[in-house]
């Protein structure tokens, strides 16, 4: 399992999930912006990081080069990204 975290897909997944969850979004108190509106750069980075995590997770699952524990972890990473986008 430790080999997975030291591999390229494992590092991408860890950094990406950490970035999506831990880096707070900018909030502006301006009344002119709608409640769900975000900076286009921030939205673009969220999409880019999500695609990187999804790509690395799918690589681990579909390549067959990793053991069952790594595949379970990759499935969890994909689920975390999906859950991130489905939150209200």
- Transcribe 37-67 into DSSP letters: ---HHHHHHHHHHHHHHHHHHHHHHHH--S-
Question: How far is it, in rounded angstroms, from Cα 81 to Cα 66?
Answer: 21
Residue 36 pLDDT class (50, 70, 90 cuts): low
Q: Which residues contact 38 (CB under 8 A, 6 or more apart)?
A: 25, 26
Domain spans in the chain, listed from the N-terminal domain onward: 40-88
Q: Please, what is the end-to-end C-alpha distance for the chain in angstroms?
A: 33
Give the tens place of pLDDT for each residue, 54-81.
999 999 999 988 899 889 989 999 999 9
pTM: 0.62
């Amino acid at each position: 399992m430790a080999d997975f975290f030291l591999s390229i897909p494992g590092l991408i997944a860890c950094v990406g999930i950490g970035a999506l969850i831990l880096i707070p979004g900018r909030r502006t108190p301006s009344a002119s912006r709608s409640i769900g509106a975000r900076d286009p750069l921030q939205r673009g980075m969220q999409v880019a990081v999500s695609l990187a995590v999804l790509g690395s997770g799918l690589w681990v699952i579909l390549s067959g080069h990793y053991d069952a524990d790594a595949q379970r972890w990759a499935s969890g990473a994909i689920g975390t990204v999906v859950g991130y986008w489905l939150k209200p």
